[in-house]
A and B are shown apart, each in its own frame.
Chain A
Amino acid sequence: ETGVTQSPTHLIKTRGQQVTLRCSSQSGHNTVSWYQQALGQGPQFIFQYYREEENGRGNFPPRFSGLQFPNYSSELNVNALELDDSALYLCASSFSGGVADTQYFGPGTRLTVL
């Protein structure tokens, strides 16, 4: 059974640029959630995708967008990067898209915005 994988591991961008982060969900899972973890903080929910549709969204601006593909992998896109977007971006997969699903996290992508 393959766990959740994310790419790239690390990324450095400059303010104003755009970035795409990728996530492959665990085998058998159809739901992907994205979280932002700033240094010294707990993860903050960005949004969740279930069966290729956005299933819920946290308090993040529209320049944070996502996609889920038929194979349940997912992308997180961030436009017009700001310095405060520097963080660890975590992807988590789960099975049914329901409330209180157990989520399995990937290792994260460390994004640095200069």
Chain B
Amino acid sequence: TQLLEQSPQFLSIQEGENLTVYCNSSSVFSSLQWYRQEPGEGPVLLVTVVTGGEVKKLKRLTFQFGDARKDSSLHITAAQPGDTGLYLCAGYNSGYALNFGKGTSLLVTP
């Protein structure tokens, strides 16, 4: 059973467009993390959100944690080809294991 559901699964957009990726769960998480993974590489941590309602910005990326700490979103403004990759959300539900979603595969074309 996948604790975290990500949507959309695939996204292909042109450079300059905006996009939003969603991460949803029926479970409450103490924190949620967003990672980006490129082919042949391990996931790289982008941000951790901890407080319900929290918004964090990382240059053109905006991350939001839902008030009930069950969902999160990632918004990218003016996407660039360098944003291409697999975006994964992950969270600690209980214990030591990070639970990952299946990811959103983003392709940004020039």
Contact of A107 among B33, B41, B45, B88 (CB under 8 A): B41
Query: Range of interface residues on chain A?
Result: 20 to 34
Summarize A's interface: helix, strand, loop or mixed: loop
B42 touches A97 (CB 8 A): no
User: B24: shortest Cβ distance to chain A, in Å?
Assistant: 14
User: A94: shortest Cβ distance to chain B, in Å?
Assistant: 9
Decide if B100 is an interface residue (CB 8 Å cutoff): yes
How many chain B residues touch A (CB < 8 A): the figure is 27
B95 touches A102 (CB 8 A): no
Q: In the complex, A101 Cα to B97 Cα: how many Å?
A: 10
A99 touches B96 (CB 8 A): yes
Contact of B98 among A55, A98, A103, A110 (CB under 8 A): A103
Known contacts A104-B45, A107-B40; decide if A42 and B102 are in contact (CB<8 Å): yes
Q: In the complex, A101 Cα to B101 Cα: how many Å?
A: 18
Interface flags for B66-99 (1: CB within 8 Å of A; 0: not) read: 0000000000000000000000101010111111
Contact of B48 among A35, A97, A102, A105 (CB under 8 A): A102
User: A13: shortest Cβ distance to chain B, in Å?
Assistant: 19
B43 touches A90 (CB 8 A): yes
Known contacts A41-B102, A99-B30; decide if A48 and B96 are in contact (CB<8 Å): yes
Known contacts A42-B101, A42-B102, A100-B30; decide if A105 and B96 are in contact (CB<8 Å): no
Decide if B31 is an interface residue (CB 8 Å cutoff): yes
B48 touches A43 (CB 8 A): no
Residues in A whose Cβ lies below 8 Å from that of B48? 102
A108 touches B42 (CB 8 A): yes
Decide if A95 is an interface residue (CB 8 Å cutoff): no
B97 touches A90 (CB 8 A): no
Interface flags for B35-73 (1: CB within 8 Å of A; 0: not) read: 100001111110010000000000000000000000000
Residues in B whose Cβ lies below 8 Å from that of A55? 96
Chain B positions within 8 Å of A, measured between CB atoms, are 2, 4, 6, 30-31, 33, 35, 40-45, 48, 88, 90, 92, 94-103
